[in-house]
Structure 1
Amino acid sequence: MTTRTAAPRAAIYARYSSDLQSAASIPDQVRLCRRLCEERGWTVVEVFADEAMSGASHLRPDFQRMQQTAMAGQFDVLVAEALDRLSRDQEHIAGLHKRMRFLGVEIFTKAEGAISEMHIGLGGTMSALFLRNLAEKTHRGLEGRVKAGKSAGGISYGYRLDRQPLPDCTYTTGDRVIDPVEAAIIRRIFTEYDRGRSARAIAIGLNRDGIPAPRSGGKGKGSWSFSTISGNWKRGTGILNNELYIGRLVWNRQRFVKDPDTGKRQARPNPPGDWITEEVPYLRIISDDQWTRVKQRQGAIREDILTERVANPNGPKIERGHRPRYLLSGLLTCGCCGSGYIMISDSRLGCAAARNSGTCLNRKTIKRSDVEARVLGGLKHHLMHPDLVAEFIAEFHREMEKDRREGEAGRVEAERALAKITKEIENIVTAITEGMFHPSMKAKMDALETQKAALEAKLAALPAPSPVILHPGIADVYAAKVSDLAAALNDAESRPEAVEILRGLIEKIVLRPDADAANGHVVELFGELGSILSLCGNEMGQNTKARSGATGLRQKTMVAGAGFEPAAFRL
């Protein structure tokens, strides 16, 4: 009796890459492999397929399932269209061949036939070179698109694709135009951040107003977060770091490499010398001045965080990145030990060292609202000093005089040009009357007459020169501006900007316990705000005696010859 050997069991593997082939490639590969199995008498027992998966990664679902099936001994030969369908990575294809050989499974492809060590060596090398060449060609092509001002992939928030028909019935690709709706949101974000609001507060406001976040497809899905706005300044990510908003296209800031263990892409920064920058002024949304102010504010916040990390390496990493909760948060200092005055209840301030470590004997407390009221009240009182009012009027006069001179300069220039053109017209008329007419003179005369009419119209539109006369109520205007200070600090819209400007003038505020002082404390203010208040002194640049007023503000120290240097004041 003759024993009949069963036909070898075959498993087919097919794959296509989304950037190279279409989904129809899978059925085509399977059909070709089935025909090959029929010709060789193999029985197809399983078909594995990975759609839109790169051959550079081995973490493909069916590729992994195929190997598990082989280890279970469920097929004898692995069939594919070509070796690069199985893998384009030298390490992975060598590992697959070694594993299949150990399991007694033959690898057979339509293109190469039975796979041996020679195919693995040469084929793996060719596939690796193919991937590298493909990456270089793709990079070169994208660089060309960027230099043409086009998108190299992806559209930033604030823009939309602009596809225009071409003569061959196709459409342009990579062209962008500003999206008016999203551009308004971009301007809102920059304006609010410029005024002192944090990225987190801005994100909360956008979500509260129901504004769709980037990549939400305009369907209301997703939400804004502080990282969407702040991003990473080194990598240029985030709304506030996108230079496209000032008409500058920056590309190739980073490259991506695949982790050989996980197959996931990881970003690696490129040196600035490799960046590609193109000016695209037609895509500008934000002015250069506002961009510069935002960058300066971001830099100041980073500097604060870095300073805090150096001073307190074991402390919270981002505590200095938080915005001050109250008007004078972080500026108040104990006059006894130098520690900060902190909130020890919902309304009162006290020495941090006395409360937390007991190293200071200052147990006096003061209401936060009283400190703020004394600082603002004293500021308002002294800003109304006659010397400051006089300085305001003088500055107003200088600005008005400057505008008047600029207007007169324009009039003088126009009159000079008109006199020159009138003289040329007279010369042409004289030449014609003396018999020297030429046909070209008519065209010249017409052009001069047009210029003359334009200059006469310009002069007629300019206001007649007049001396600068100050309105008798100009001092009242100044008083109103000072009175608006408290309102600006309490208004939800202008408060962040006003608070930041005011805090920038103050170096520190020292609170010293004194039973005879208001609220049990003498309040001393140090910093550039003291420089402003130094105008209130009767003897600028000289040491003066302390004097008090109705508001409880009195000048304490003025260093001889200091002028506008930082000074100290008691409130």
Structure 2
Amino acid sequence: MTGRLVQAGAPGLRAVIYARYSSEMQSAASIPDQVRICRRLCDERGWEVVEVFADEAMSGATHLRPDFQRMLRAGEARRFDVVVAESLDRLSRDQEHVAGLHKRMTFLGVSIVTKAEGAISELHVGLGGTMSALILRQLAEKTRRGLEGRIGKGKSAGGISYGYRLDRQPLPDGSFTTGDRTIDPEEAATIRRIFERYAAGASARTIAIDLNRAGIPAPRSGGKGSGRWSFSTISGNWKRGTGILNNELYIGRLVWNRQRFVKDPATGKRQARPNPASEWIIEEVPHLRIIEDELWSRVKHRQGAIREDILAAREDNPGAPHVERGTGPKHLLSGLVACGCCGASYIMISDSRYGCSAARNRGTCSNRKTIPRMLVEERVLGGLRDRLMHPDLVAEFIAEFQRATQSERLEALAARGEAERKLGKVRREIDNIVTAIANGMFHPSMKAKMDGLEAERVDLEARLAEIPEPDPVAIHPGLSEIYARKVADLVAALNDAETKPEAAAILRRLIGKIVLTPDATAANGHAIELYGELGAILSLCDNGIDTNTKARSVATGLRQVTLVAEAGFEPAAFRL
């Protein structure tokens, strides 16, 4: 049942204003201007502005905008009656999102009004969404055409590669040139050093460690990068042309349009897709050359030899996982183990031992200790079996779960009870008026009173429909025993070749991270701390709970209580 849609022209409504500008290229003053226009519209119609939502430098092609999402939540809480914006495209430029917003607000009884279009209807949603989609496509095509023109002139199409800096020259009109680059002598010397060392036989990992030890700033050290050299910064991806050793700009060749970006409609995030070589745009820019052809050829020859060795090794071992095929973690705890000294990941530095990736690949951590993979797995499994299965810990968690769910249930019951009491009162008043009319006591004022009561009844019934009947809190009395049996079964399954893949996937969901810290007094020279989710562990027990009791699902109903952050679950981490 939907809420009653308020009349957009009625005075006394609670209004919220939404404003947005799409990129940092636009002026931030756009937000106050939009708000001022919307406030004037609200004043003219006698509406009270209760809140203003604004997203700065956010594209209208995505709905994952912080204040836009806050506005939706406020609507769900029925804190306003009308949404006001400068125009429909300020709310969204995506057809799907515009239609979804209109549908949701209509269900909640909220109107959408803009200065440009007035009250928004299905017609505006259809035509406006189509026009916004066309504008976005045209804008993308114009942007691409402009960038292609800059490439044709040998200018930058966005971003400056390591080894160069902007070269802005004054123009007669007082402005400056844009997109021109010049070689940075210090960074160019570092690039030559990298190429020469690699051609001489040094690995990308060794070069990265030496550069970090020498204190040479890495690319993007003042921006989003880590500020440290890594082997991937140097070797990159030869197919995509990324990495210092694959940047053809260093030999005076500007290559553009190697890849394109598409946006995932579910997340709003962009994903890179490679373009065929026939679509690449290549311009010769000899004034930007840093590396001579002979040195470039030697590096490419060595890279090719390494790739041939890798391909030959794969032919000898066809069952080995290929990184580009996304086969998932190779080992039980891959990606979960971290260094207690620097926080970097512990990785396989040989076929059997873990070591700190920062110490291994960047030389920025002093932790050179290694530990056999099998020993880490044995100690972690032992910790799960002996520590997480402790009866006192499980009992305390179950008690806390019961307290939390009982509190939520009482809140839901109170909200339903209040709405039901109001609805009962309204229905009695309606019945009294109907009875009076039947007895010949009609008065013209009764019609207005009846209309108001009917509207209130519809609204209360809609609220009740949106408040679910709280499920009874029921915990299986033998949950602790079920839990212990399930974890024991998990350990056994990890030793069975047929069930190991599935059991390993379950185990990885139980563990948040594993921290390894060098400690001469600890077993194998490492202290190990295990961080996990008791909620995920208890979800193993679902199959042991009697579904006829209609208990709340332990897997979905409980709050995920970490072993390291919640009161009542000390110590802060399990030392194994």
TM-score w.r.t. length of structure 2:
0.53
Q: Which residue is equivalent to 1:131?
A: 136
Equivalent residue for 2:283? 278
How far does residue 175 in structure 1 lie from its aligned partner after superposition?
0.4
Structure 1 partner of 2:572 = none
Determine helix, strand or coil for the equivalent of 2:205.
helix
Are the structure 2 counterparts of residues 180 and 273 from structure 1 closer, same or farther at C-alpha, using a change threshold of 3 Å? same
Q: Which residues in structure 2 correspond to 1:349-360 (within 5 Å)?
A: none
Match in the other structure for 2:63 = 58
CA contact (8 A) 1:212 1:219 kept: no
Deviations 1:216-260 (A, max 9, x none): 139997100000001111110000000000000000101111111
Matched, 1:188 2:230: no
- The CA distance in 2 between the partners of 1:83 and 1:215, in whole Å, is 38
- 2: distance between equivalents of 1:124 and 1:194? 55
Aligned pairs (5 A) from 1:248-287: 248-287=253-292
Measure the CA separation in 2 of the matches of 1:203 and 1:20.
36
Q: Does 1:29 pair with 2:71? A: no
Matches within 5 A, 1:216-227: 216-217=221-222, 222-227=227-232
Residue 73 (structure 1) aligned with residue 117 (structure 2): no
Aligned to 2:12: 7
The whole-number CA distance in structure 1 between the counterparts of 2:52 and 2:207 is 53
1:186 touches 1:239 (CA, 8 Å); kept in 2? yes
* Cα distance in 1, alignment partners of residues 202 and 296 from structure 2: 15
Question: Quick one: distance in 2 between partners of 1:20 and 1:290?
Answer: 41
Question: Which residue is equivalent to 2:234?
Answer: 229
Using the alignment, how far apart are the partners of 1:276 and 1:219 within structure 2?
Answer: 28
1:47 is aligned, of 32, 52, 64, to 52
Structure 1 residues 248 and 122, CA gap change in structure 2 (3 angstroms): same
**Deviation per residue, 1:17-41 (Å, 9 max, x gap):** 1255210000000010000000001
| Other-structure match for 1:162 | 167
Q: Which has the larger radius of gyration?
A: 1
What CA distance in whole angstroms lies between the structure 2 residues aligned with 1:281 and 1:64?
A: 50
Choose the corresponding residue for 1:96, options 101, 105, 115: 101
When residues 116 and 246 of structure 1 are mapped into structure 2, their CA distance, relative to the original with a 3 A threshold, is same
Q: Aligned with 1:67: secondary structure?
A: helix
SS state of the match for residue 312, structure 2?
Answer: helix
- Amino acid in structure 2 at the alignment position of 1:37: C
Find the aligned partners of 1:101 and 1:14 in 2 and give their Cα distance. 20
Please give the alpha-carbon distance, in whole angstroms, between the structure 2 residues aligned to 1:311 and 1:196. 25
SS in structure 2 opposite 1:46?
Answer: strand
Distance 2:80 2:94 in 1: 24
Alpha carbons 2:163, 2:191 under 8 Å: kept: yes
Decide which of 166, 176, 181 is 2:181's aligned counterpart.
Answer: 176
Q: Which residue does the alignment assign to 1:405?
A: none
CA distance in 1, matches of 2:222, 2:91: 36
Unaligned segments of structure 1, at least 5 residues:
319-342, 344-571
State whether structure 2 residue 134 is matched by structure 1 residue 143.
no
Answer whether contact 2:237 2:243 (CA < 8 A) is retained.
yes
Amino acid at match of 2:102: H
SS at match of 1:268: strand
Distance 1:6 1:115 in 2: 18
Q: Distance in 2 between matches of 1:219 and 1:81?
A: 34
The whole-number CA distance in structure 2 between the counterparts of 1:67 and 1:219 is: 31
Measured on the aligned residues, the alpha-carbon RMSD in Å equals 1.8
Partner letter of residue 310 of structure 2?
I
Whole-angstrom distance in 2 between the partners of 1:66 and 1:224: 42
Which residue is 1:209 aligned to?
A: 214
In the alignment, what sits opposite 1:515?
none
CA contact (8 A) 2:19 2:55 kept: yes
Once the two structures are TM-superposed, the CA of residue 122 in structure 1 deviates from its matched residue by 0.6
The aligned counterpart of 1:288 is: 293
State the distance in 2 between where 1:58 and 1:315 align: 41
Count residues in correspondence.
Answer: 315
Measured against aligned partners, the alpha-carbon deviations of 1:492-550 in whole angstroms (never above 9, x if no partner) come to: xxxxxxxxxxxxxxxxxxxxxxxxxxxxxxxxxxxxxxxxxxxxxxxxxxxxxxxxxxx
User: 1:48–1:63: 8 Å Cα contact kept in structure 2?
Assistant: yes
2 CA distance for matches of 1:30 and 1:135?
A: 28
1:446-485 alpha-carbon deviations (Å, 9 max, x no partner): xxxxxxxxxxxxxxxxxxxxxxxxxxxxxxxxxxxxxxxx
Give TM-score scaled by structure 1 length: 0.54
Instruction: Trace 1:528-539 onto structure 2 (pairs within 5 A).
Output: none
Residues 1:20 and 1:222: Cα distance change in structure 2 (over 3 Å)? closer
Name 1:303's counterpart in structure 2. 308
Partners of 1:48 and 1:85 in 2: how far apart?
Answer: 11
Structure-1 separation of matches of 2:31 and 2:262:
28
- 1:315 Cα deviation after fit: 3.8
User: Within 2, Cα distance between the matches of 1:20 and 1:96?
Assistant: 27
Does residue 240 in structure 1 map to residue 245 in structure 2? yes
Q: CA deviation at 1:101?
A: 0.6
C-alpha displacement of 1:310: 1.8
Letter in 2 for 1:16: Y
Highest RCO, 1 vs 2 (Cα 8 Å, sep ≥ 6)? 2
Unaligned regions of 5+ residues in structure 2, if any? 1-9, 324-350, 352-576
| Distance in 2 of aligned mates of 1:315 and 1:15 | 50
Residue 313 of structure 1: CA displacement? 2.5
Contact 2:168/2:178 (8 A) holds in 1: yes
1:122 matched to 2:127? The reply is: yes
Residue 299 of structure 1: CA displacement? 1.2
SS of residue matched to 1:154: coil
Moved over 4 A (4+): 218-221
> C-alpha offsets along residues 153-177 of structure 1, whole Å, 9 cap, x if unaligned?
0000000000000000000000001
